[in-house]
Protein backbone atom coordinates (compact mmCIF):
# COMPACT_ATOMS: atom_id res chain seq x y z
CA UNK A 1 0.00 0.00 0.00
CA UNK A 2 1.55 3.29 -1.16
CA UNK A 3 -1.46 5.57 -0.72
CA UNK A 4 -5.03 5.33 0.58
CA UNK A 5 -7.19 6.66 -2.24
CA UNK A 6 -9.83 3.98 -2.75
CA UNK A 7 -10.52 0.72 -0.91
CA UNK A 8 -10.91 -0.78 -4.36
CA UNK A 9 -7.12 -0.42 -4.76
CA UNK A 10 -6.41 -2.53 -1.67
CA UNK A 11 -6.31 -6.30 -1.28
CA UNK A 12 -8.42 -8.04 1.34
CA UNK A 13 -5.22 -8.71 3.29
CA UNK A 14 -4.23 -5.04 3.27
CA UNK A 15 -7.64 -4.09 4.70
CA UNK A 16 -7.45 -6.76 7.41
CA UNK A 17 -3.88 -5.66 8.22
CA UNK A 18 -5.14 -2.10 8.78
CA UNK A 19 -7.88 -3.43 11.07
CA UNK A 20 -5.42 -5.60 13.01
CA UNK A 21 -3.06 -2.69 13.58
CA UNK A 22 -6.01 -0.45 14.50
CA UNK A 23 -7.25 -2.95 17.11
CA UNK A 24 -3.80 -3.18 18.71
CA UNK A 25 -3.26 0.57 18.70
CA UNK A 26 -6.71 1.09 20.21
CA UNK A 27 -6.07 -1.45 22.94
CA UNK A 28 -2.69 0.15 23.77
CA UNK A 29 -4.22 3.62 23.68
CA UNK A 30 -6.78 2.54 26.29
CA UNK A 31 -3.94 1.17 28.45
CA UNK A 32 -2.07 4.45 28.21
CA UNK A 33 0.84 3.03 26.22
CA UNK A 34 2.52 5.78 24.19
CA UNK A 35 4.09 5.46 20.75
CA UNK A 36 6.95 6.73 18.65
CA UNK A 37 6.01 5.10 15.35
CA UNK A 38 5.86 8.50 13.62
CA UNK A 39 8.53 10.34 15.61
CA UNK A 40 9.64 13.41 13.69
CA UNK A 41 7.13 12.84 10.89
CA UNK A 42 4.71 15.45 9.59
CA UNK A 43 1.32 15.17 7.89
CA UNK A 44 -0.16 18.03 5.85
CA UNK A 45 -3.96 18.08 5.99
CA UNK A 46 -5.54 19.92 3.05
CA UNK A 47 -9.21 20.76 3.60
CA UNK A 48 -11.45 22.25 0.90
CA UNK A 49 -14.58 21.24 2.86
CA UNK A 50 -15.68 21.41 6.51
CA UNK A 51 -14.85 18.66 8.99
CA UNK A 52 -15.14 17.78 12.66
CA UNK A 53 -14.21 14.09 12.95
CA UNK A 54 -11.64 13.87 10.17
CA UNK A 55 -9.68 16.93 11.17
CA UNK A 56 -9.61 16.17 14.89
CA UNK A 57 -8.94 12.43 14.55
CA UNK A 58 -6.05 12.87 12.10
CA UNK A 59 -4.46 15.63 14.14
CA UNK A 60 -4.80 13.75 17.43
CA UNK A 61 -3.71 10.51 15.75
CA UNK A 62 -0.48 12.07 14.46
CA UNK A 63 0.26 13.49 17.90
CA UNK A 64 -0.38 10.15 19.62
CA UNK A 65 2.08 8.42 17.26
CA UNK A 66 4.81 10.98 17.96
CA UNK A 67 4.33 13.07 14.81
CA UNK A 68 2.87 16.44 13.96
CA UNK A 69 -0.06 17.48 11.73
CA UNK A 70 -0.52 20.79 9.89
CA UNK A 71 -4.02 22.04 9.09
CA UNK A 72 -3.95 23.54 5.59
CA UNK A 73 -7.25 25.15 4.67
CA UNK A 74 -7.53 25.47 0.91
CA UNK A 75 -8.71 29.05 1.57
CA UNK A 76 -5.32 29.85 3.02
CA UNK A 77 -2.88 27.96 0.82
CA UNK A 78 -2.14 28.91 -2.79
CA UNK A 79 -4.03 25.86 -4.10
CA UNK A 80 -7.22 27.80 -3.36
CA UNK A 81 -5.96 30.69 -5.53
CA UNK A 82 -5.28 28.46 -8.51
CA UNK A 83 -1.79 27.04 -7.92
CA UNK A 84 -1.76 23.73 -9.77
CA UNK A 85 -1.73 20.31 -8.13
CA UNK A 86 1.54 19.41 -9.87
CA UNK A 87 3.45 22.26 -8.18
CA UNK A 88 1.63 21.79 -4.87
CA UNK A 89 2.43 18.06 -4.82
CA UNK A 90 6.10 18.59 -5.61
CA UNK A 91 6.57 21.40 -3.09
CA UNK A 92 4.72 19.70 -0.23
CA UNK A 93 6.72 16.50 -0.86
CA UNK A 94 9.88 18.46 0.04
CA UNK A 95 8.54 19.32 3.52
CA UNK A 96 6.13 16.62 4.59
CA UNK A 97 6.05 12.84 5.08
CA UNK A 98 2.41 12.45 4.09
CA UNK A 99 -0.57 14.42 2.77
CA UNK A 100 -4.18 13.99 3.76
CA UNK A 101 -6.70 15.72 1.50
CA UNK A 102 -10.45 16.40 1.68
CA UNK A 103 -11.75 17.92 -1.53
CA UNK A 104 -14.44 17.87 -4.22
CA UNK A 105 -12.95 16.28 -7.37
CA UNK A 106 -11.61 12.76 -6.86
CA UNK A 107 -9.19 13.35 -9.75
CA UNK A 108 -7.37 15.96 -7.59
CA UNK A 109 -6.42 13.24 -5.09
CA UNK A 110 -5.22 10.95 -7.85
CA UNK A 111 -3.12 13.78 -9.33
CA UNK A 112 -1.64 14.66 -5.96
CA UNK A 113 -0.51 11.06 -5.54
CA UNK A 114 0.77 10.88 -9.11
CA UNK A 115 2.93 14.00 -8.91
CA UNK A 116 3.98 13.90 -5.26
CA UNK A 117 6.67 11.67 -3.76
CA UNK A 118 4.93 10.92 -0.45
CA UNK A 119 1.86 8.91 0.63
CA UNK A 120 -1.53 10.53 -0.01
CA UNK A 121 -4.61 9.77 2.08
CA UNK A 122 -8.08 10.47 0.72
CA UNK A 123 -10.07 12.04 3.54
CA UNK A 124 -13.24 12.38 1.41
CA UNK A 125 -14.01 13.40 -2.12
CA UNK A 126 -17.40 13.69 -3.83
CA UNK A 127 -16.76 10.09 -4.94
CA UNK A 128 -15.25 8.15 -2.02
CA UNK A 129 -14.63 8.20 1.75
CA UNK A 130 -12.31 5.24 2.46
CA UNK A 131 -11.11 6.35 5.92
CA UNK A 132 -14.69 6.37 7.17
CA UNK A 133 -15.34 2.84 5.92
CA UNK A 134 -12.20 1.50 7.61
CA UNK A 135 -13.56 2.89 10.91
CA UNK A 136 -16.97 1.39 10.07
CA UNK A 137 -15.48 -2.06 9.48
CA UNK A 138 -13.55 -1.83 12.73
CA UNK A 139 -16.78 -0.93 14.55
CA UNK A 140 -18.76 -3.76 12.96
CA UNK A 141 -16.01 -6.25 13.82
CA UNK A 142 -15.97 -5.08 17.43
CA UNK A 143 -19.74 -5.37 17.81
CA UNK A 144 -20.33 -8.54 15.78
CA UNK A 145 -17.04 -10.38 16.37
CA UNK A 146 -16.58 -10.96 12.65
CA UNK A 147 -17.19 -9.37 9.26
CA UNK A 148 -17.44 -12.33 6.92
CA UNK A 149 -20.96 -13.34 5.94
CA UNK A 150 -22.74 -10.35 7.53
CA UNK A 151 -25.24 -8.23 5.62
CA UNK A 152 -24.98 -4.43 5.54
CA UNK A 153 -27.93 -2.40 4.26
CA UNK A 154 -27.33 1.17 3.12
CA UNK A 155 -30.40 3.34 2.61
CA UNK A 156 -30.29 6.73 0.94
CA UNK A 157 -28.06 8.71 -1.39
CA UNK A 158 -25.78 6.74 -3.73
CA UNK A 159 -22.90 8.99 -2.73
CA UNK A 160 -19.28 8.81 -1.52
CA UNK A 161 -20.32 6.76 1.53
CA UNK A 162 -22.38 4.25 -0.44
CA UNK A 163 -19.55 3.88 -2.97
CA UNK A 164 -16.88 3.24 -0.35
CA UNK A 165 -19.16 0.85 1.54
CA UNK A 166 -19.67 -1.13 -1.68
CA UNK A 167 -15.89 -1.46 -1.99
CA UNK A 168 -15.18 -2.10 1.69
CA UNK A 169 -17.93 -4.65 2.30
CA UNK A 170 -17.26 -6.73 -0.79
CA UNK A 171 -13.49 -6.75 -0.13
CA UNK A 172 -13.87 -8.13 3.39
CA UNK A 173 -16.57 -10.67 2.53
CA UNK A 174 -19.75 -8.88 3.63
CA UNK A 175 -22.99 -8.90 1.66
CA UNK A 176 -24.29 -5.43 0.85
CA UNK A 177 -27.66 -4.05 -0.25
CA UNK A 178 -27.95 -0.43 -1.32
CA UNK A 179 -31.38 1.15 -1.69
CA UNK A 180 -31.66 4.59 -3.32
CA UNK A 181 -34.09 6.41 -5.59
CA UNK A 182 -33.32 5.57 -9.24
CA UNK A 183 -31.89 9.05 -9.95
CA UNK A 184 -29.44 8.86 -7.04
CA UNK A 185 -28.15 5.31 -7.36
CA UNK A 186 -24.38 4.66 -7.20
CA UNK A 187 -22.26 5.14 -10.35
CA UNK A 188 -22.31 2.11 -12.65
CA UNK A 189 -18.52 1.58 -12.54
CA UNK A 190 -18.54 1.38 -8.75
CA UNK A 191 -21.35 -1.19 -8.86
CA UNK A 192 -19.47 -3.17 -11.49
CA UNK A 193 -16.19 -3.11 -9.54
CA UNK A 194 -17.98 -4.16 -6.35
CA UNK A 195 -19.78 -6.99 -8.16
CA UNK A 196 -16.47 -8.23 -9.55
CA UNK A 197 -14.95 -8.23 -6.06
CA UNK A 198 -18.08 -9.92 -4.69
CA UNK A 199 -17.55 -12.80 -7.12
CA UNK A 200 -14.05 -13.32 -5.72
CA UNK A 201 -15.10 -13.12 -2.08
CA UNK A 202 -18.36 -15.05 -2.52
CA UNK A 203 -20.79 -12.35 -1.37
CA UNK A 204 -23.80 -10.59 -2.86
CA UNK A 205 -24.35 -7.01 -4.02
CA UNK A 206 -27.94 -5.85 -4.26
CA UNK A 207 -28.70 -2.44 -5.82
CA UNK A 208 -32.37 -1.61 -5.52
CA UNK A 209 -34.93 1.16 -5.18
CA UNK A 210 -36.78 -0.94 -2.57
CA UNK A 211 -35.76 0.11 0.95
CA UNK A 212 -37.67 -2.75 2.59
CA UNK A 213 -35.98 -5.42 0.50
CA UNK A 214 -32.55 -3.90 1.23
CA UNK A 215 -32.96 -3.70 5.00
CA UNK A 216 -34.56 -7.14 5.43
CA UNK A 217 -32.52 -9.30 7.83
CA UNK A 218 -29.57 -6.89 7.80
CA UNK A 219 -26.92 -7.15 10.53
CA UNK A 220 -25.82 -3.57 9.98
CA UNK A 221 -27.98 -0.64 8.87
CA UNK A 222 -26.26 2.46 7.49
CA UNK A 223 -27.38 5.81 6.23
CA UNK A 224 -25.82 9.18 5.45
CA UNK A 225 -27.04 12.71 4.92
CA UNK A 226 -29.18 13.22 1.82
CA UNK A 227 -27.39 16.51 1.14
CA UNK A 228 -23.64 16.09 0.87
CA UNK A 229 -21.20 18.98 1.11
CA UNK A 230 -21.24 21.02 -2.08
CA UNK A 231 -24.60 19.59 -3.22
CA UNK A 232 -26.86 21.93 -1.28
CA UNK A 233 -28.75 22.92 -4.46
CA UNK A 234 -30.27 19.39 -4.57
CA UNK A 235 -31.96 19.82 -1.20
CA UNK A 236 -35.58 20.52 -2.24
CA UNK A 237 -35.67 17.70 -4.80
CA UNK A 238 -34.01 15.18 -2.51
CA UNK A 239 -36.32 15.81 0.42
CA UNK A 240 -39.23 14.88 -1.86
CA UNK A 241 -37.52 11.82 -3.35
CA UNK A 242 -35.89 10.32 -0.26
CA UNK A 243 -38.83 10.10 2.19
CA UNK A 244 -39.21 6.34 1.75
CA UNK A 245 -35.53 5.79 2.58
CA UNK A 246 -35.61 7.39 6.02
CA UNK A 247 -34.30 4.93 8.60
CA UNK A 248 -37.15 5.03 11.11
CA UNK A 249 -38.36 2.53 13.69
CA UNK A 250 -40.69 0.80 11.25
CA UNK A 251 -38.03 0.19 8.59
CA UNK A 252 -35.37 -0.65 11.17
CA UNK A 253 -37.63 -3.36 12.63
CA UNK A 254 -37.19 -5.33 9.37
CA UNK A 255 -33.47 -5.74 10.08
CA UNK A 256 -32.28 -8.47 12.48
CA UNK A 257 -33.23 -7.92 16.14
CA UNK A 258 -29.58 -7.39 17.04
CA UNK A 259 -28.77 -5.19 14.04
CA UNK A 260 -26.52 -2.23 14.73
CA UNK A 261 -27.07 1.25 13.30
CA UNK A 262 -24.17 3.22 11.80
CA UNK A 263 -23.95 6.74 10.38
CA UNK A 264 -20.72 8.45 9.36
CA UNK A 265 -22.04 11.75 10.83
CA UNK A 266 -22.87 14.59 10.70
CA UNK A 267 -26.49 13.39 10.96
CA UNK A 268 -29.73 15.26 10.36
CA UNK A 269 -32.39 13.80 12.64
CA UNK A 270 -35.84 13.82 11.09
CA UNK A 271 -34.40 13.53 7.58
CA UNK A 272 -32.30 10.43 6.78
CA UNK A 273 -32.84 8.94 10.27
CA UNK A 274 -35.26 9.40 13.16
CA UNK A 275 -34.22 10.03 16.75
CA UNK A 276 -35.60 6.71 18.00
CA UNK A 277 -33.10 4.88 15.76
CA UNK A 278 -29.98 7.05 15.88
CA UNK A 279 -30.31 7.62 19.64
CA UNK A 280 -31.73 4.15 20.32
CA UNK A 281 -30.10 1.10 21.89
CA UNK A 282 -28.88 -0.40 18.58
CA UNK A 283 -27.00 2.73 17.53
CA UNK A 284 -23.19 2.62 17.80
CA UNK A 285 -22.47 5.97 16.14
CA UNK A 286 -20.08 7.23 18.80
CA UNK A 287 -18.00 4.04 18.82
CA UNK A 288 -17.90 4.48 15.06
CA UNK A 289 -16.76 8.11 15.33
CA UNK A 290 -14.10 7.13 17.90
CA UNK A 291 -12.80 4.45 15.57
CA UNK A 292 -11.87 7.06 12.98
CA UNK A 293 -8.93 7.82 15.29
CA UNK A 294 -7.76 4.23 15.67
CA UNK A 295 -8.27 3.21 12.03
CA UNK A 296 -6.43 6.28 10.72
CA UNK A 297 -3.55 5.80 13.16
CA UNK A 298 -3.18 2.34 11.63
CA UNK A 299 -3.24 3.75 8.11
CA UNK A 300 -0.63 6.39 8.96
CA UNK A 301 1.57 3.87 10.78
CA UNK A 302 1.49 1.53 7.78
CA UNK A 303 2.02 4.27 5.19
CA UNK A 304 4.50 6.50 7.00
CA UNK A 305 5.90 4.48 9.90
CA UNK A 306 9.23 2.78 10.37
CA UNK A 307 8.82 -0.67 8.84
CA UNK A 308 10.19 -2.68 11.73
CA UNK A 309 8.09 -0.90 14.30
CA UNK A 310 4.93 -1.50 12.32
CA UNK A 311 5.68 -5.17 11.62
CA UNK A 312 5.36 -6.03 15.28
CA UNK A 313 1.72 -4.96 15.10
CA UNK A 314 0.95 -7.35 12.28
CA UNK A 315 2.00 -10.45 14.22
Residues near ligand CP (CB under 6 A) are 51-54, 124, 132, 264-265
Catalytic residue check, 292: yes
User: Is 94 a residue of the active site?
Assistant: no
Which among 132, 136, 157, 296 is annotated as catalytic? Answer: 132
Binding at 228: pick from ligand NVA, ligand CP, none (beta carbon under 5-8 Å per type): ligand NVA
186 is catalytic: no
Which is closer to ligand CP, CB of 135 or CB of 169?
Answer: 135
Of 1, 77, 110, 229, the residue at the interface with ligand NVA (CB under 6 A) is 229
Active site residue: 3, 17, 64, 102, which one? Answer: 102
Give the Cα separation of 247 and 63 in Å (integer): 37
Residues 155, 238, 189, 222, Cα dihedral to 10°? -20
Binding positions: 51-54, 78, 102, 129-132, 160, 224, 228-229, 264-265, 292
The single residue among 23, 97, 224, 288 that binds ligand NVA, judged by CB under 6 A, is 224
Annotated binding site for L-ornithine: 160, 224, 228-229
Is residue 82 left, alpha or beta, with left meaning phi > 0 and alpha meaning psi from -120 to 50?
left
Q: Is 233 designated active site?
A: no
Three-state secondary structure string covering the chain: CCCECCHHHCCHHHHHHHHHHHHHHHHHHHCCCCCCCCCCCEEEEEECCCCCHHHHHHHHHHHHCCCEEEEEECCCCHHHHCCCHHHHHHHHHHHCCEEEEECCCHHHHHHHHHHCCCCEEECCCCCCCHHHHHHHHHHHHHHHCCCCCCEEEEECCCCHHHHHHHHHHHHHCCEEEEECCHHHCCCHHHHHHHHHHHHHHCCCEEEECCHHHHHCCCCEEEECCCCCCCCHHHHHHHHHHCHHHCECHHHHCCCCCCCEEEECCCCCECCCECHHHHCCCCECHHHHHHHHHHHHHHHHHHHHCCHHHHHHHHC
By the rule CB under 6 A, 122 interacts with ligand NVA? no
What are the phi and psi torsion angles at 271 (to 5°)?
-110, -95
Whether 279 sits among the annotated catalytic residues: the reply is no
Catalytic member of 64, 264, 294, 296: 264
**CB nearer to ligand NVA: pick between 163 and 282:** 163
- Asked if 257 is an active-site residue, the reply is no
Q: Minimum CB separation from ligand NVA for residue 84, in Å?
A: 24
Residues in the interface with ligand NVA (CB under 6 A) total: 9
Q: Which of 57, 160, 185, 223 binds ligand NVA (CB under 6 A)?
A: 160
- Binding residue (CB under 6 A) for ligand NVA from 228, 246, 282, 296: 228
Q: Which one of 15, 264, 293, 304 is in contact with ligand NVA (CB under 6 A)?
A: 264
Residue nearest to ligand NVA (CB): 228
Q: How far is CA 29 from CA 23, 26, 35, 187, 290, in A?
A: 10, 5, 9, 39, 12
Active-site position among 17, 157, 219, 224: 224
Site string for ligand NVA, 290-309 (x = CB under 6 A): --------------------
Q: Is 155 in the site for ligand NVA (CB under 6 A)?
A: no
Q: Counting contacts by CB under 6 A, is residue 223 touching ligand NVA? A: no
Distance, CA of 116 to chain centre: 23
Give residues in contact with ligand NVA (CB under 6 A): 124, 159-161, 224-225, 228-229, 264
Question: Which amino acids are annotated catalytic?
Answer: 102, 129, 132, 224, 264, 292
Amino acid sequence: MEHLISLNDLTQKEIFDILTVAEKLKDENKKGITHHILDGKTLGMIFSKSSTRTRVSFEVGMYQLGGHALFLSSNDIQLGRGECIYDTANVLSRYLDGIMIRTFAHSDVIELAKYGQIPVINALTDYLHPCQVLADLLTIKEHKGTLKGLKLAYLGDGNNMANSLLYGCTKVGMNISVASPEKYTCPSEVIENAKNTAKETGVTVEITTDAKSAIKDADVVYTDTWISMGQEDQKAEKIKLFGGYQVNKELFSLAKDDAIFLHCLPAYRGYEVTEDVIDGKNSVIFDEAENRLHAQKAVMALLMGKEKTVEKYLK
